[in-house]
Structure 1
Amino acid sequence: MSLSIVQGFSKSLAMTVLSEIGDKTFFAAAILAMRHPRRHVLAGCLSSLIVMTILSAVVGMAAPNLMSRTLTKHIATVLFFGFGLWSLWDAYNGDGESEELAEVEAELDADTKANGQTTKSSTDDDLKKKKRPFMTQFFSPIFLKAFSITFFGEWGDKSQLATIGLAAAENPLGVVLGGILGQALCQTAAVFGGKSLATQISERFIALSGGILFIVFGLQSFFSTIES
C-alpha cells in the first residue's frame, strides 16, 4: 500500500469518526436500533453511508479534472478552515445538551405515528405484499427507512463536503477505505451502544477535536506543494 493511500486513509478515518460521532445520523441509528431489529438498521445506515462516501470521493476525484489543481487546492483549504472554525464555534457555544438528539427523536416519533395511521392489519398477506411499494418487496421496510433517513440526513452535511475536499486533495482510494471504516465503527457503536451511549457523548469535546483536526488539514493543504 502506497504512502499516499495510507495518508488518505488515516485522514479520512480520523475525519469521519470525529464528524459522525454525535451527528444527526448517529442519533438516528441509535434510536432506530432501539425500536427495530439491529441488523436491518445497521445494514440500512451503513449501506447509505458507504454509497455517500463513494459518491463524495468520486466528486472530489473529478474536481482536479474540471478545474485547475491550484484552484482545487485553494477550495479544499478554504473548506478545511471553514469546517474547523465552524466546529470550534459549535464547541464554544454548545450548552452540553444534545439538541440534535431531541430533534431526531421527535422526527422519528412523528414518522412512526404517521406510518401507524396508514398501515392497518390485514389477514391477507399476499394482498399486503402487492400493496406495498415496489422496493419494499425486495428489501426490508426497516432497511429502506434507515437507508433513506441516513442518506438524506447526510446529503449536503459537513462531513460529506469534507470528504469531497479530502478526496480532491488526497488519494481517493485511501479516502474511501478510511471513510467506510470510520462509518462502520460509528454506526456499529450507535446501533449496539444505543441511546445511552449517544447521551453520554461529550459533544463539546467531539466538536473541539474535529475543529482542531480540520484546521490541521487546512494548514497542511495550504503549505503543500502541487504535483505537476
Structure 2
Amino acid sequence: MGFSLVEGFSKSLAMTVLSEIGDKTFFAAAILAMRHPRRLVLSGCLSALTVMTILSVLVGWATPNLISRKWTHHMTTLLFFGFGLWSLWEGFTEEGDAEELAEVEAKLDADLKSNNGANKAGSKADDELKKLQRPFLAQFFSPIFLKAFSITFFGEWGDKSQIATIGLAADQNPYGVVLGGIIGQALCTIAAVLGGKSLASQISEKMVALSGGILFLVFGVQSFLSTVEE
C-alpha cells in the first residue's frame, strides 16, 4: 500500500482541499452559515462529510478484495489521469464561480421561502415552548442541522472528490485516506462557515481547478510508475 499511512494521508488531504474549495457544498455551507447558527451548520456539514468520507474509503478498501489489486491499481491510475484532465478542462473553460454561487443561492432562497410560508402557521410562543420542552439530543438534531447534513451529503454523492477518495483508498492505506479526508473536509467547511463567501471571492476558482488538475496528474504519474503489491 505505497508508503502506507503517511502517503495516504498527504494525498487525501491535498486532494480534498483542492477539490472542495469553491464547490457547491462549500457555497452552501457559507450561505447557510449566514442565515442560521454557525455551530448547527458546521456540525451538520461536518457530520455529512465525515460519513461520506468513511463510506467512500470503505468502498475503496473493499474493492481489492473483490477485484485483483493489479486491476484496482490500474483503475486508480486511470481515475487520477481522468480527473486531472477534467479539472484542467474546467479551469480553462469555466467562467468562474459567480454562476455556481448564484445557482446555490437561488436554490436555498426558494427552500427558505417555502419553509417560511409553512412556519407562519405556528406562533412564536408555541415555538419557544416546544424548544424548551425538547431534550438536548432533539435540539442538536434540529431542522437546521438536518438541512445542512442533507444538502451536504447529497451534494457530495457521486461528486468527483468522492470517486477519487474511493480510488485512493483502493490503492493507499485506508486509515491515512480517512484521516486526511476528514481533516481536509474540516478545514474547508470551517473556512466556508467562518467566511466562505468572502473567501471564495478572493480565491480564483480557475486557479483552484488548474492546481487540482495538476495534482491529479502528478498522482497519476506516480501511480503509473509505482509497482503493484499483490
TM range (shorter): over 0.9
Corresponding residue for residue 119 of structure 1: 119
Deviation at 1:127?
Answer: 8.8
Question: Contact between 1:33 and 1:194, CA under 8 Å: does it hold in 2?
Answer: no
Q: 2:153 aligns with which of 145, 151, 154?
A: 151
Is 1:171 matched with 2:173?
A: yes
Question: Contact between 1:49 and 1:151, CA under 8 Å: does it hold in 2?
Answer: yes
> Bigger CA drift: 181-190 or 94-103?
94-103
One-letter code aligned to 2:87:
S
Deviations 1:28-49 (A, max 9, x none): 0111111111111111001100
Corresponding residue for residue 46 of structure 1: 46
Question: Contact between 1:34 and 1:194, CA under 8 Å: does it hold in 2?
Answer: no
Rounded to whole Å, the distance in 2 between the matches of 1:212 and 1:44 is 31
Is 1:13 matched with 2:13?
A: yes
Corresponding residue for residue 199 of structure 2: 197
Deviations 1:176-197 (A, max 9, x none): 0000110111000110023111
Rounded to whole Å, the distance in 2 between the matches of 1:20 and 1:197 is 13
- What pairs with 1:55-134 in structure 2 (closer than 5 Å)? 55-120=55-120, 121-122=122-123, 123-125=125-127
User: What secondary structure, in the 3-state scheme, does the structure 2 residue paired with 1:225 have?
Assistant: coil
> Bigger CA drift: 197-206 or 20-29?
197-206
Question: Contact between 1:98 and 1:203, CA under 8 Å: does it hold in 2?
Answer: no
Deviation at 1:91?
Answer: 0.6
TM-score normalised by the chain length of structure 1:
0.92
Q: 2:162 aligns with which of 129, 146, 160?
A: 160
For the structure 1 residues 81 and 3, does the alpha-carbon distance in structure 2 shift closer, same or farther, using more than 3 Å as the test?
A: closer
Rounded to whole Å, the distance in 2 between the matches of 1:88 and 1:138 is 41
For the structure 1 residues 174 and 207, does the alpha-carbon distance in structure 2 shift closer, same or farther, using more than 3 Å as the test?
A: same
For the structure 1 residues 97 and 179, does the alpha-carbon distance in structure 2 shift closer, same or farther, using more than 3 Å as the test?
A: closer
Deviation at 1:96?
Answer: 3.1
One-letter code aligned to 2:15:
M
Alignment size in residue pairs:
223
Question: Contact between 1:31 and 1:105, CA under 8 Å: does it hold in 2?
Answer: yes
Question: Contact between 1:30 and 1:198, CA under 8 Å: does it hold in 2?
Answer: no
Question: Contact between 2:56 and 2:165, CA under 8 Å: does it hold in 1?
Answer: yes
One-letter code aligned to 1:17:
V
TM-score normalised by the chain length of structure 2:
0.91
Deviations 1:134-176 (A, max 9, x none): x966612111110000000000000000000000010000000
Question: Contact between 1:16 and 1:159, CA under 8 Å: does it hold in 2?
Answer: yes
Rounded to whole Å, the distance in 2 between the matches of 1:30 and 1:126 is 27
Q: Unaligned stretches of 5+ in structure 2?
A: none
Corresponding residue for residue 189 of structure 2: 187
Q: Percent identity?
A: 75
Q: Unaligned stretches of 5+ in structure 1?
A: none
Is 1:213 matched with 2:215?
A: yes
Deviation at 1:98?
Answer: 2.6
> Bigger CA drift: 207-216 or 98-107?
98-107
Is 1:36 matched with 2:36?
A: yes
